């Protein structure tokens, strides 16, 4: 799985490992966090290995996929949580920031999806990551939401292109989720307002997102070509 050392990614890795999956924890920048997660999973009896690389570089990701096949005999699930979010009003956003997001979120998802489509075994699953802000449309999110709109489009089309392969392709679209990155810099008042927005009146947790990913990666075989909004009903 890509982005495995992040807040949501690490929760997904723990959950899949707890379900008995052997997990390759991909990281883009934090080798230390990935190593700690692998140690945590293995200490609990799970199987995990860390692998680094640029998610937007085909060679790097082919090496990660190759490691998974070499160590574990094949690929059954690919979860693509890697991505970046840089926020500003559209009129003010630096185009260099737009290009960085496009490279990580769009090209990165394309590279990983292409490799997954070529290598996933029968009965496999690809889970990409979008965002609920494509529906919520809050100010300052235009460029980020645009990259995730592209993720949704390629996810839905790839599901149809894999007809006959018995491989599902879906996207998970989280709402506000209480990761360290999300909480950083927000006041208590801002967090209270965000928590009050969903009908369930709380922020999501990484474990909430991991629960949905585990379903799509395992028993949810009749869910295919969908964007699943995991946000407590906020949008």
Q: What is the 3-state secondary structure (H, E, C) of the chain?
A: CECCCCHHHHHHHHHHHHCCCEEEEEECCCHHHHHHHHHHHHHCCCEEEEEECCCCCHHHHHHHHHHHHHHHCCEEEEEECCCCCCCCCCCCCCHHHHHHHHHHHHHHHHHHHHHHHHHEEEEEEEEEECCCHHHHCCCCCHHHHHHHHHHHHHHHHHHHHCCCCCCEEEEEEECCECCHHHHCCCCHHHHHHHHHCCCCCCCECHHHHHHHHHHHHCCCCCCCCCEEEECCCCC
Known active-site residue 144: yes
Which one of the listed residues 27, 141, 144, 229 is annotated catalytic? Answer: 144
Instruction: Report the catalytic residues.
Output: 144
């Amino acid at each position: 799985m890509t982005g495995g050392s992040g807040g949501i990614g690490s929760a997904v890795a723990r959950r899949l490992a707890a379900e008995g999956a052997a997990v390759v924890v991909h990281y883009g920048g934090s080798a230390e966090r990935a190593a700690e997660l692998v140690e945590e999973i293995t200490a609990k009896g799970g199987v995990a290995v860390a692998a680094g690389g640029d998610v937007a570089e085909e060679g790097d990701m082919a090496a990660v996929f190759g490691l998974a096949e070499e160590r574990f005999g094949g690929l059954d699930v690919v979860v693509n949580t890697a991505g970046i979010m840089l926020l500003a009003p559209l009129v003010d956003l630096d185009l260099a920031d737009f290009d960085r997001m496009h490279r990580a979120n769009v090209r990165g998802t394309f590279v990983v999806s292409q490799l997954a489509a070529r290598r996933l075994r029968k009965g496999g699953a690809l889970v990409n990551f979008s965002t609920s802000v494509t529906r919520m449309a809050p100010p300052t999110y235009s460029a980020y939401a645009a990259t995730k709109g592209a993720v949704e489009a390629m996810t839905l089309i790839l599901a149809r292109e894999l007809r006959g392969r018995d491989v599902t392709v879906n996207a998970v679209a989280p709402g506000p989720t209480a990761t360290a990155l999300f909480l950083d810099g927000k006041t208590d008042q801002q967090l209270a307002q965000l928590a009050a927005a969903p009908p369930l009146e709380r922020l999501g947790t990484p474990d909430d997102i991991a629960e949905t990913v585990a379903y799509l990666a395992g028993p949810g075989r009749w869910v295919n070509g969908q964007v699943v909004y995991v946000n407590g009903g906020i949008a």
